[in-house]
Amino acid sequence: MTESSTGTVYLVGAGPGDPGLLTLRARELLRSVDAVLPDGLVSEEVLALIDGPELIPVSKRYGSTSTTQAEIDTLVINLARDGKSVCRLKGGDPMVFGRAGEEMRALSADGISYEIVPGVSSATAAAAYAGIPLTLRGVTAGFVCVTGHRASADDSPDTDWAALAKLKQTLVILMVATRIDPIAEALLDAGLAPTTPSAIVENASLPGQRTIISPLGDIAARSRVSGIRTPAVLIVGDAVAHSRDLQWVPIRPLAGQRVLLTTPPTATAELRSLLGAAGASVVALPTIQVEPLTDQAGFASTLKERLGESSWAVFASRSGVDAVFRTLNELNLDARAFGGFQIAALGTGTARALHAHGITPDLLPEKFVSESVVDALLQQLSADDRVLVFGAVGGRTVIRDRLIEAGIAVTRLDAYRTVPAPLPTDLLEYTLERPPDWVIFTSPSAVKSLFSALDRASISLPSATHLACIGPITTTAIEARGLTVSAIAEPHTYAGLVTALVNFAASGDNQSPESEPSSVQT
């Protein structure tokens, strides 16, 4: 095998979590390589940027056991031998406790070419996002970064905490979530005063970041009560005391709230952005997926025929817009096919989807439900109008039925179908391992899919988890299961959903005894 026939391996730093902190080179590779192999600490927000390459998680995912380093090395080498370019994606910087050195040795031994793409280390990012200067003139001249994990070999010594305590420099300790008690105890035994300023930062740079600042003698107990989880960084030293005046990350209304989205991938990005801006940590679990019709050719033929007969078109969802315009493209048509139409859109999301194709709706109802669309339509339709309604297979037929009752000529065309997404038990267990504060639903089909999967797996949502819906129809689907909806969007939009969660949080009803805001100082 010649060198040119093997692929290149890129050891890439994914940064601390915020995709805005990725390097330009990392962003390029996430779109251009053949395969991306992320570690478990790579954030969901960064993974959402992967578009095109095969995604092969190589850490604890979906309830599976962790992949060993030897297995990872073998997988990467085999992919490269097959001629594939591989992005080995690591949280933070690959050269800082990312085992890049071990993988570089394995690649070199096998003659595989590789490239290192540095990333922002969580060691510096956690301090920056907590407003803690790692070095400060007159306070500390340097910092030391160590891992909180023990070495994997049983005979390897633990970190020399006594030596570190004598340095009089800022200590940055990564991967501490599971060892905060023995680490704090070791530093106190080594001579650090219980009053030494310290901070623990969870999910640094992400919307769900939490920072607890406390004397070293109390930091372990405070972290335990607050339920601090991986990834977390402990910072110890006098420089921490100055964070009180130097914090710059605002405390956002949903800080510390973990939100589970059940929406299809096409809708997840917008909701993730809105929730993230409000401070929530978002986990995506698509429970339904949008698919083309089984008889796509038949739909295309009928659509072309009806375009020449109708005067109004009603779009009930952005998925319907996407499906119709995808079919128009197959017919070598574009937005001009609706040149003689007046257009109605069910809501602002549907209207934005139409705007993307150069169409401004003529009608947008006051409330974004089918009944409101019909009420508005009946005020504008004449006896000669013919209406074309685009929906989903098995979807509500309220618009069609009420127009027929009013004597209006109407044709309903199912433009797409929604089907349950595969939700295996190990995926559900992994996702719910850390219970979400909220589960958001935007359709009755998403409700049915999730709870059917939970029932099959004999899993229940935690009682402390709140449910939120985009509108009354989805709310009814949940209440029919004997469950309570804590927040309903008003208006029935994604922005309305986020506002409903923010209002609920502001009411104080969503606070548990162990909850912590984004930044706490004592």
Question: Catalytic positions, please?
Answer: 39, 60
* HSE-up of residue 376 (Cα within 13 Å, Cβ side): 20
Instruction: Report the C-alpha gap between 430 and 364 in whole angstroms.
Output: 41
Beta bridge pairs of residue 174: 147, 233
Task: Give the CA distances from residue 7 to residues 53, 76, 268, 461, in Å, rounded to whole numbers and listed in that order.
Answer: 14, 10, 33, 44
Instruction: Report the C-alpha gap between 403 and 477 in whole angstroms.
Output: 25
What totals of helices (H) and strands (E) does the chain contain, helices first?
Answer: 19, 21
First-to-last alpha carbon distance for the chain, in angstroms, is 62
User: What does residue 460 show for φ and ψ, rounded to 5 degrees?
Assistant: -120, 145
* HSE-up of residue 399 (Cα within 13 Å, Cβ side): 31
Contact residues for 367 (Cβ-Cβ < 8 A; gap 6+): 491, 492
Q: What is the DSSP string of 135-153?
A: SBTTTBS-EEEEESSPPSS
Q: Count other Cβ atoms within 10 Å, centred on residue 427.
A: 17
Q: Can you tell me which residue has the tokens 């301090």? A: 127
Q: Count other Cβ atoms within 10 Å, centred on residue 445.
A: 22
SS3 214: strand
Instruction: Report the C-alpha gap between 212 and 223 in whole angstroms.
Output: 7
Helix ranges (H only) for 309-460 are: 318-330, 348-355, 370-378, 398-405, 425-431, 444-456
* HSE-up of residue 66 (Cα within 13 Å, Cβ side): 6
Burial 471-481 (b: 16+ CB within 10 A, else e): bbbbbebbeee
Contact residues for 260 (Cβ-Cβ < 8 A; gap 6+): 283, 285, 431, 436, 438, 439, 440
Q: Count other Cβ atoms within 10 Å, centred on residue 86.
A: 30
User: What does residue 193 show for φ and ψ, rounded to 5 degrees?
Assistant: -70, 145
